[in-house]
Amino acid sequence: MIDWRDAFSLLQEGADAGCTEALLVTGDRPWDHPASPKGSKEDVLSHMVEISEHALELGLLPHTNAGILEEDEMRTLSPYNASMGLMLETTACVDAHRDCPGKDPQTRIDHMERAGRLKIPITTGLLVGIGEGFEDRVCSLQAIASLHRAYGHIQEVIVQGLDPKPGTMMAGWDPPSILELSAVVRLARSILPESITIQVPPNLFDPLPLVEAGATDLGGISQVTPDWINPGRPWPTMEELRIKLPGYHLRERLAIHPRYVRAGWYGSRTEGLVKRLAGPDGLRAIS
């Protein structure tokens, strides 16, 4: 992972490459872990604000995924963010989440509810293949839909399949098949409000069947950094995506989705940059 001291040079590299988003990820409440080198809560939040300010100066919109945050912590970070994120993964109690208190389903739902009260656009998602069943997926999607009906702030739901990693308790688990993932995408489209976008990561599975099942977003791909969550799965290039998705027109969006651009649901410090980057349709302006 990137050290705090390396973040500024990486942001510059992203800006030079024409990127528009800086994804800031800390892991879940690192200040609660004595062995963490990142310091106290105040230190971490201060670093996040400093990095976000620098990103904005370079023309990059921050999108922060800092795990479970309390309302005061959200209020500290939200002015510098176009949007924020937290994967729900599942509402089921599964062995994969054993000894991970930050992945308690209600804790995650409470986090997203706090974001809704603050009008922060949120990206969330399901992790498929971690021991959940069909009814669990239904319940997870219904919980997300309920949050959105209450606050209107869920911009995107990612349908992501488990990619087992060596050295983890799930190393020997079988990842979900493309047929299973396609079924989850169709299920999501049938349950979620139409205004919520469904995303599928294009570096983990063939995106064509998932797009045909109802996904309309491929998330972020980068020519600057790997997928830190799945480092063994390189990002496809734009040309590779065009070949994999014949007949589909690809457009770049910002870290904040068009309906929230139009509604002004972005951090106060990001307003000028959002307005410079967004075209009339809320997607990235075509130069």
- With cut-offs at 50, 70 and 90, classify the pLDDT of residue 77: very high
pLDDT of residue 229: 86
| Spatial separation of the C-alpha atoms in residues 179 and 197, rounded to whole Å | 20
Domain spans, the chain: 85-219
Residues 6+ apart with CB under 8 A from 152: 116, 195
Tens-digit pLDDT profile for residues 189-233? 999 999 999 999 999 999 999 999 999 999 999 989 999 888 899
pLDDT of residue 98: 86
pLDDT of residue 42: 85
pTM greater than 0.85: yes
The DSSP-derived string for 26-72 is --S-GGG-TT-TT--HHHHHHHHHHHHHHHHHTT-EEEEE-SS--HH
Is the model's pLDDT at 37 over the cut of 60? no
pLDDT of residue 254: 98
Tens-digit pLDDT profile for residues 231-266? 899 999 999 999 999 999 999 999 999 999 999 999
Tens-digit pLDDT profile for residues 152-164? 999 999 999 999 8
CATH of 85-219, one of 3.40.640.10, 3.20.20.60, 3.20.20.70, 3.30.70.920: 3.20.20.70
Tens-digit pLDDT profile for residues 85-135? 999 999 999 988 888 888 999 999 999 999 999 999 999 999 999 999 999
The DSSP-derived string for 212-274 is HHT--B-----SSS--SSSTTSPPPPHHHHHHHSTT-------SS-HHHHHHT-S-GGGHHHH
| Spatial separation of the C-alpha atoms in residues 126 and 141, rounded to whole Å | 8
pLDDT of residue 183: 98
Residue 220 tokens, joined: 């972020």
3-state helix, strand, coil in the chain (%, to 5): 45, 10, 45
pLDDT of residue 5: 65
As a whole number, mean pLDDT of residues 123-152 equals 97
Torsion of CA 146, 143, 198, 51, to 10 degrees: 90
pLDDT of residue 30: 75
| Better-scored residue on pLDDT, 267 or 41 | 267
